């Protein structure tokens, strides 16, 4: 029997409610916005989706399994710290990242002008060049909770290779 190729694919999705009086953290940076994301941590939907994609690629459950939203030590935590821990975990398991492809769904404000900065911040943590860390943004065409500015969502796929 032929050995399987030493690559693994992972997929992650995350949603947060939007409300006034909260900061809007996406991809490790804070965007100026009247509405922010509600959550136990800093509610960075993009980082959470990427964490789930990385964990999922190695069947390591999900972000809530590793960092419980009932645990007071994660209250308001910078999600970049969680991403660092997840990346450490996959390295410990003997894997590196080939590439990541992610999409943020947000009606307003515009995410596109901030994508290069997100790639720089997340790429520094994950040791990825911008061309290996794709971040895309789209609106929800004013329909449903996302289009009505009641929620934000992100999807991420990650491909890992054995070191």
Q: How far is the CB of 74 from Zn ion (least distance, A)?
A: 11
Q: Closer to Zn ion by CB, 49 or 90: give it.
A: 49
Residue whose Cβ sits closest to Zn ion: 48
Q: Closer to Zn ion by CB, 77 or 98: give it.
A: 77
Q: Closer to Zn ion by CB, 62 or 132: give it.
A: 62
Q: How far is the CB of 1 from Zn ion (least distance, A)?
A: 40
State the chain's maximal CA–CA distance in angstroms. 58
The verdict on 48 binding Zn ion (CB under 5 A) reads yes
User: What is the residue-wise DSSP string for 97-112?
Assistant: EEEEEEEEE-SSS-SG
Q: Closer to Zn ion by CB, 41 or 119: give it.
A: 41
* Residues contacting Zn ion: total by CB under 5 A: 2
Provide CB contacts within 8 A for 55, sequence distance 6+. 10, 12, 61, 62, 63, 65, 66, 86, 89, 90
Q: Closer to Zn ion by CB, 6 or 75: give it.
A: 75
The verdict on 153 binding Zn ion (CB under 5 A) reads no
Distance of CA 54 to the CA centre of its chain: 10
The SS3 of residue 77 is: coil
Distance, in Å, from the CA atom of 10 to the CA atom of 60, rounded to the nearest integer, reads 10
HSE-up (13 A, CA, CB side) for residue 100: 34
Q: How far is the CB of 39 from Zn ion (least distance, A)?
A: 6
The verdict on 80 binding Zn ion (CB under 5 A) reads no
State both tokens at 100.
Answer: 């990541």
- Range 91-150, binding Zn ion (CB under 5 A): none
| Binding footprint of Zn ion on the chain (CB under 5 A) | 14, 48
């Amino acid at each position: 029997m032929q050995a399987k190729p030493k690559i693994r694919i992972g997929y992650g999705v995350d949603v947060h409610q939007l409300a006034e009086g909260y900061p809007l953290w996406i991809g490790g940076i804070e965007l100026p916005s009247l509405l922010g994301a509600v959550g136990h941590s800093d509610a960075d939907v993009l980082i959470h989706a990427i964490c789930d994609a990385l964990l999922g690629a190695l069947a390591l459950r999900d972000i809530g399994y590793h960092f419980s939203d009932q645990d007071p030590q994660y209250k308001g935590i910078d999600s970049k710290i969680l991403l660092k821990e997840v990346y450490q975990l996959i390295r410990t398991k003997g894997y590196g990242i080939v590439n990541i492809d992610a999409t943020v769904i947000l009606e307003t404000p515009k995410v596109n002008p901030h994508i290069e900065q997100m790639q720089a911040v997340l790429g520094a943590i994950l040791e990825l060049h911008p061309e290996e860390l794709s971040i895309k943004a789209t609106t929800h065409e004013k329909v449903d909770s996302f289009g009505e500015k009641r929620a934000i969502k992100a999807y991420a796929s990650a491909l890992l290779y054995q070191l």
